[in-house]
Amino acid sequence: MGVQWTSKEVVHLLLRAGFGVAKEEVATCLALGREETVRRLVTGEALIDKAPKLASFDQFHADGKKALDPLLLVDQQMYWLYRMVNSPTPLIEKMTLFWHGHFATANYKVKDASLMVKQNELFRQYALGNFKELLIEIGKDPAMMIWLDVNQNKKGKPNENYAREVMELFTLGIGHYTEMDVKESARAFTGWTYNKNDHKVNYNAKQHDNDAKTLLGESGKLDADDVIDILFHQQALPTFLATKLLNYFASDTPSDRWIQTIAGLLTQKNTVGEVLQALFLSDEFYAETNRMSLIKTPADYVAGILKCCELSVAKGHAQAMRKMGQELFVPPDVAGWRGGASWLTTNCLLARYQFAEGIAKQMNGQQLNTSAFKPNQVESPMEWAKLYAELMGISDLSEQTQASLRAYADDTIVHTTQTKQKLTGLRGLLQLVLISPEAQMK
């Protein structure tokens, strides 16, 4: 392998495979080496030995509340954000968010936070596991069943919502099935129901259409499991999932060759984790053209900053994500978040700037005056700029950004003697780093 393993490669990997970078993590991963770092990420082993365990929902406290309410969506959003910031196994949380966007289900229709959390736990369980097994389980997930009207899919009166999205959004993509395939798969999925009273998923054989069906060229008395089997016979499936994984982790515009390489791995390997292991060990993943090339999601931006600044999660942080365009447990529709440039519309960008301002104000003098936030050469404005960027997980700054930060540090920190004014300068420098173009990228 030709790629070096320096702090830049470590930061690149951690920003893609997790949420933000802590200085201790970078040092640990450098010592571990690339293969061991990637192995720990994809096996769900803590990157840092003896890393503190996550607090359970019952043990988690925030905003001065003695206890969170499991039935309040905002409290569940806050707890998931806490997991993103503090999980010793960041890739599991990153893939949990991936599946949440892939199998997009929103609480505005489900109207039950406990069911949204149950689905979230399903995604976490299968985060790096077998995709086919996850696809089978999601069809029997109560939140998904409510979201896509599975209870209305009955023998003689099929509802096509779930059948359509299984092919269009979950497995094959538009253009790889016909309207007749949707109708036939809807019939095959009949018989499954969710009872809101006893919270049980049941299969009623009398409500299942057991007549012959033809789906994607295969015929028989097909049921739900048969549909999944047939979908996995399609060449479009690994290509579709490979494209989504590459868009999420590597590049907005992966080459056809790269897509087919990952698609081949999805066919050969048993788990998504094994596929990601190959991706994260590949030289192409670390190519210069792929670094700082993806726009951070609001989850990346918020969780990453909280992690770098070592700040506790609060309700306002989860609400800030909503203003940036990504409310946890509430994707906009069945297609999930669009990502890319949609994260940087005028309103979303303004929300990022306001969040950065709020974070800078939260940082007190005791934090900003520690040695961690002070460069060795305190008389050098450039060293101040470089250190603050590095602390926020930014490996490279453009000349324009460097010039702006250097001038600001020179005026407000290096040539300031009054303690109060200097603290204002330190906060201002942090804010400028967090609203820089580079801070929006990973």
Q: From first to last of its 442 residues, what are the pLDDT tens digits of the chain?
A: 578 999 999 999 999 999 999 999 999 999 999 999 999 999 999 999 998 999 999 999 888 777 899 999 999 999 999 999 999 999 999 999 999 999 999 999 999 999 999 999 999 999 999 999 999 999 999 999 999 999 999 999 999 999 999 999 999 999 999 999 999 999 999 999 999 999 999 999 999 999 999 999 999 999 999 999 999 999 999 999 999 999 999 999 999 999 999 999 999 999 999 999 999 999 999 999 999 999 999 999 999 999 999 999 999 999 999 999 999 999 999 999 999 999 999 999 999 999 999 999 999 999 999 999 999 999 999 999 999 999 999 999 999 999 999 999 999 999 998 989 999 999 999 999 999 999 999 9
d(CA 160, CA 277): 36
Q: Name the domain count of the chain.
A: 1
**Which of 103, 119, 116 minimizes the C-alpha distance to 72?**
116
> Which pLDDT score is estimated for 419?
87
Do residues 277 and 38 lie in contact, with contact meaning Cβ atoms separated by under 8 Å? yes
Would 320 be classed as within a structural domain?
Answer: no
d(CA 224, CA 156): 16
Residue type, 120: N
> Which pLDDT score is estimated for 290?
97
Would 289 be classed as within a structural domain?
Answer: no
Backbone phi and psi for residue 38, each to the nearest 5 degrees, phi listed first? -65, -40
Largest CA distance in the chain: 84
**Assigned token pair, 103:** 């199998």
Angstrom CA distances, 36 to 28, 29, 190, stand at 11, 8, 46
Would 392 be classed as within a structural domain?
Answer: yes
d(CA 295, CA 301): 9
Angstrom CA distances, 105 to 1, 142, 299, 339, 435, stand at 40, 11, 17, 16, 31
Would 45 be classed as within a structural domain?
Answer: no
Would 418 be classed as within a structural domain?
Answer: yes
> How many other β-carbons are positioned within 10 Å of the β-carbon of residue 96?
22
* Residue 177, phi-psi category: left (phi > 0), alpha (psi -120 to 50), beta (remainder): beta
Backbone phi and psi for residue 202, each to the nearest 5 degrees, phi listed first? -125, 155
Would 188 be classed as within a structural domain?
Answer: no
Helix-then-strand count for the chain, H and E: 22, 4
> How many other β-carbons are positioned within 10 Å of the β-carbon of residue 419?
10
> How many other β-carbons are positioned within 10 Å of the β-carbon of residue 70?
13
> Which pLDDT score is estimated for 149?
98
Would 429 be classed as within a structural domain?
Answer: yes
Helix (H, G, I), strand (E, B) or coil at 149: coil
Would 117 be classed as within a structural domain?
Answer: no
Angstrom CA distances, 237 to 50, 247, 263, 382, stand at 40, 16, 8, 49
Domain hosting 392: range is 370-442
Instruction: Tell me the angle at which helices 73-86 and 113-125 cross, rounded to the nearest 10 degrees.
Output: 20
- The residues, any chain, with a CB within 8 Å of residue 52's CB and separated by 6 or more, are 86, 88
Do residues 70 and 117 lie in contact, with contact meaning Cβ atoms separated by under 8 Å? yes
